[in-house]
Amino acid sequence: MTHETSHRPATPILDRVHLPSDLKDLTDRELHQLADELRAETISAVSVTGGHLGAGLGVVELTVALHAVFDTPRDKIIWDVGHQCYPHKILTGRRDRIRTLRTAGGLSGFTKRSESPYDPFGAGHSSTSISAALGFAMARELGGDPGDAVAVIGDGAMSAGMAFEALNNAGDLGKRLFVVLNDNEMSIAPPTGALSRYLTRLYAEGPFQDLKAVAKGAVGFLPTPLQQGARRAKEMLKGMAVGGTLFEELGFSYIGPVDGHDLDQLLPLLRTVKARAAGPVLLHVVTKKGKGYGPAERAADKGHATAKFDVQTGTQAKAKSNAPSYTSVFARALVDQASRDDRIVAVTAAMPDGTGLNLMAERFPRRCFDVGIAEQHAVTFSAGLAAGGMKPFCALYSTFLQRGYDQVVHDVAIQRLPVRFAIDRAGLVGADGATHAGAYDIAFLANLPGMVVMAAADEAELVHMVATAAAHDEGPIAFRYPRGEGTGVEMPERGEVLEIGKGRVVAEGKRVAILSFGTRLAEVMRAREALLARGVNPTVVDARFAKPLDRDLILRLARTHEALITIEEGAVGGFGSLVAQLLADEGVFDGGLRFRQMVLPDTFIDHASPEAMYRDARMSAPDIEEKVLEVLGVALAKRA
């Protein structure tokens, strides 16, 4: 019989952490181990769900340190964008559901107030955290919720106007507030802009700053030098650029740069500033996006977003596809137009890959601008380019265009400037959920005088719409298309310029006409097949334009059919509402026309697959079929 020594592995520390309060019992050494386990758990979870990986891996140590030092949920940690919050979710009572991230009924991929008291402020769009944290800080000062407010904002998000509006206000108000600038020298793509260069200079020069600079700033926070953490902090502060930074000029105490992966630096620093800060403090931490997972660290996007993957190899699951993505169709069509017209320029707000403009940047680098996360500026910059005689394509996701709405109205539409808005991710987007749904652009653009609003029914239509936009010099024009792949239709050699305000009849039928605006057309055609089998033959129209409407076509259909149904991938107030107004104005309803609108429901739809979301929104083929039968008064056998 052999004598065996039992080497039972110690219980992972993560298993003992159910809530952040459990971190208070851990030694600093144990916190190191916890960070390692948290990183492994994050990688494992995202390998199963897909999602935002790189940003979370970059803030593992920061997450541990913040939760170890601050007292959440009394203290509020506000993660900017929220795409880096998976480690935070694991530490705040959601580990048991972490493998449901971004799936139907599962955890959101962002922070969400309704999900946890540890998510004091929801996000998804960037650069809101400092404003929100300042709101919490001032609420506290005025007798509202107690506790500290800590905004954690990335270098990419820091480039947005909103972040500076908040710094400006916070520096003036002068109240205790913490901003952690998580500088990983990455946005989704490599960051652009002068601010990014400034931050890089700060930490390139930081280690060589001398003590006299320190004396001006954060050294004032230090407790008595006999306290061990403070001594460590003081040593570190010697090497930091604490005086004379932009942030100091704005009224913040600046501390940094500090290695955001070194808990031996982070913990004492945070403890010290928490104990001593009286006003606004900006802590500049330098991290690596994708830290600790080779495939992410090596990837061009540092693992920003990933499909499910094999942890050992990093190989991502790829869905098979027979059709190109709308984004790539747009990008190729734009490059084609740009190759024949050197006044065509393109603008993206930090989404060169997401909008496909990387292709334009490769072919025509001088005519393609990545302005950083700055949608408002992107719109007005495009307006200026148009006023200066260029033909700008301002390519934004529908959801991010929301941030530039006043600029669309005030700088573009009122001046009738020919900015071409290429609106990607129109409609429901899936796993990113409600914050990223492209639900409102039809309504908020089509109500603007002089704005032309188109939606592509398929990828061939998109090519024509790019050509139409390129040719349209009379005023602003927008065309929208969804996330994901096209339908696999035959592609035209070259885009044709469409007649403004004219739709196309796809199938002539009788009794009921379905007016489709955008890519629901495929579902409409599926519904038509089912209806034909029931002996109902609907007319199907691809409206192409929500503004101007094809009045002649719509009125003809209304007068020759018993019923008319509109369908669009947008909220109420868009295409269907405009058609309703036309019909009402022309007295068509007086003649007894039956009319229905199929729009997104008046709710914010949570993350799921796009197909499931449209099913829940009752906008799939069976719903269209049902709507047609209902409006015609035909009894429908109950749906399976």
Ligand X SMILES: Cc1ncc(C[n+]2csc(CCOP(=O)(O)OP(=O)(O)O)c2C)c(N)n1
* Structural tokens at position 566: 């509109």
* Structural tokens at position 309: 């993957």
Confirm or reject binding of residue 267 to ligand DXP (CB under 6 A). no
Asked whether 53 and 306 are in contact (CB, 8 A), the reply is: yes
Residues 476-535 that bind ligand DXP (CB under 6 A): 483
Q: Tell me whether residue 190 or residue 251 sits nearer to Mg ion (CB atom).
A: 190
Q: How far is the CB of 485 from ligand DXP (least distance, A)?
A: 13
Contact of residue 305 among ligand X, ligand DXP, Mg ion, none (CB under 5-8 Å per partner type): ligand DXP
Q: How far is the CB of 132 from ligand DXP (least distance, A)?
A: 17
Residue nearest to Mg ion (CB): 154
Determine the Cα–Cα distance for residues 588 and 559; give it in Å rounded to an integer: 7
Q: How far is the CB of 35 from ligand DXP (least distance, A)?
A: 23
The residue from 81, 149, 299, 457 that contacts ligand DXP (CB under 6 A) is 81
The residue from 155, 370, 375, 569 that contacts Mg ion (CB under 5 A) is 155
Contact of residue 403 among ligand X, ligand DXP, Mg ion, none (CB under 5-8 Å per partner type): ligand X
Asked whether 292 and 314 are in contact (CB, 8 A), the reply is: no
The residue from 111, 187, 209, 337 that contacts ligand X (CB under 6 A) is 187
| Active-site annotation holds for 494 | no
Q: How far is the CB of 202 from Mg ion (least distance, A)?
A: 14
Q: Tell me whether residue 61 or residue 375 sits nearer to ligand X (CB atom).
A: 375
Positions at the binding site for thiamine diphosphate: 83, 124-126, 156-157, 184, 293, 375
Beta strands in 98-204 (DSSP E): 149-154, 177-183
Among 189, 399, 160, residue whose Cα is nearest residue 301: 189
The residue from 67, 76, 83, 377 that contacts ligand X (CB under 6 A) is 83
Q: Which of 89, 94, 403, 528 is catalytic?
A: 403
Q: What share of the chain is helix, strand, coil (3-state, %, to 5)?
A: 45, 15, 40
Whether residue 190 is preceded by a cis peptide bond, meaning omega within 30 degrees of 0, is: no
Residues 123-152 that bind ligand X (CB under 6 A): 125-126
**Alpha carbon of 518 to those of 97, 202, 505: distances in Å?**
36, 48, 14
Determine the Cα–Cα distance for residues 501 and 503; give it in Å rounded to an integer: 7
| Active-site annotation holds for 297 | no
- CA end-to-end span of the chain, whole Å? 65
Confirm or reject binding of residue 305 to ligand DXP (CB under 6 A). yes
The residue from 288, 425, 528, 547 that contacts ligand DXP (CB under 6 A) is 425
**Alpha carbon of 155 to those of 56, 385, 408, 618: distances in Å?**
14, 27, 26, 40
Contact flags string 28-67 toward ligand X, x per CB under 6 A:
---------------------------x--x---------
Confirm or reject binding of residue 432 to ligand DXP (CB under 6 A). yes
Residues 160-199 that bind Mg ion (CB under 5 A): 184, 186
Distance of CA 284 to the CA centre of its chain: 24
Confirm or reject binding of residue 84 to ligand X (CB under 6 A). yes
Positions at the binding site for Mg(2+): 155, 184
Confirm or reject binding of residue 301 to Mg ion (CB under 5 A). no
The residue type found at 241 is: A
Confirm or reject binding of residue 289 to ligand X (CB under 6 A). yes
Determine the Cα–Cα distance for residues 158 and 126; give it in Å rounded to an integer: 9
Contact of residue 379 among Mg ion, ligand DXP, ligand X, none (CB under 5-8 Å per partner type): none
Q: Which of 61, 248, 375, 568 is catalytic?
A: 375
| Active-site annotation holds for 403 | yes
Residue nearest to ligand DXP (CB): 354
Q: How far is the CB of 159 from ligand X (least distance, A)?
A: 8
Report how many residues bind Mg ion under the rule CB under 5 A: 5
DSSP designation for 472: -
Confirm or reject binding of residue 167 to ligand X (CB under 6 A). no
Q: What is the DSSP string of 511-544?
A: SEEEEEESTTHHHHHHHHHHHHHTT---EEEE--
Determine the Cα–Cα distance for residues 130 and 138; give it in Å rounded to an integer: 12
Asked whether 149 and 78 are in contact (CB, 8 A), the reply is: yes
Stretch that binds ligand X, among 25-33, 77-85, 594-602, 632-640 (CB under 6 A): 77-85
Q: Which of 39, 234, 289, 420 is catalytic?
A: 289
* Structural tokens at position 196: 């990014």
Q: How many CB atoms lie within 10 A of CB 489?
A: 13
Stretch that binds ligand DXP, among 271-279, 404-412, 424-432, 554-562 (CB under 6 A): 424-432
In the sheet where 594-598 sits, what is the strand order? 504-507, 539-542, 512-517, 563-568, 594-598
Contact of residue 157 among ligand X, ligand DXP, Mg ion, none (CB under 5-8 Å per partner type): ligand X
Confirm or reject binding of residue 186 to ligand X (CB under 6 A). yes
In the sheet where 545-547 sits, what is the strand order? 368-370, 344-348, 391-397, 420-424, 477-480, 452-455, 545-547
Distance of CA 79 to the CA centre of its chain: 14
Task: Please list the residues that pair with 480 across neighbouring strands.
Answer: 423, 455
Q: Tell me whether residue 203 or residue 330 sits nearer to ligand DXP (CB atom).
A: 330
Interface residues toward ligand DXP, by CB under 6 A: 52, 81, 83, 188, 305, 354, 425, 429, 432, 483
Active site (catalytic) residues: 289, 375, 403
Q: Which residues bind ligand X (CB under 6 A)?
A: 55, 58, 81, 83-84, 125-126, 154-157, 184, 186-188, 289, 350-351, 373, 375, 400, 403
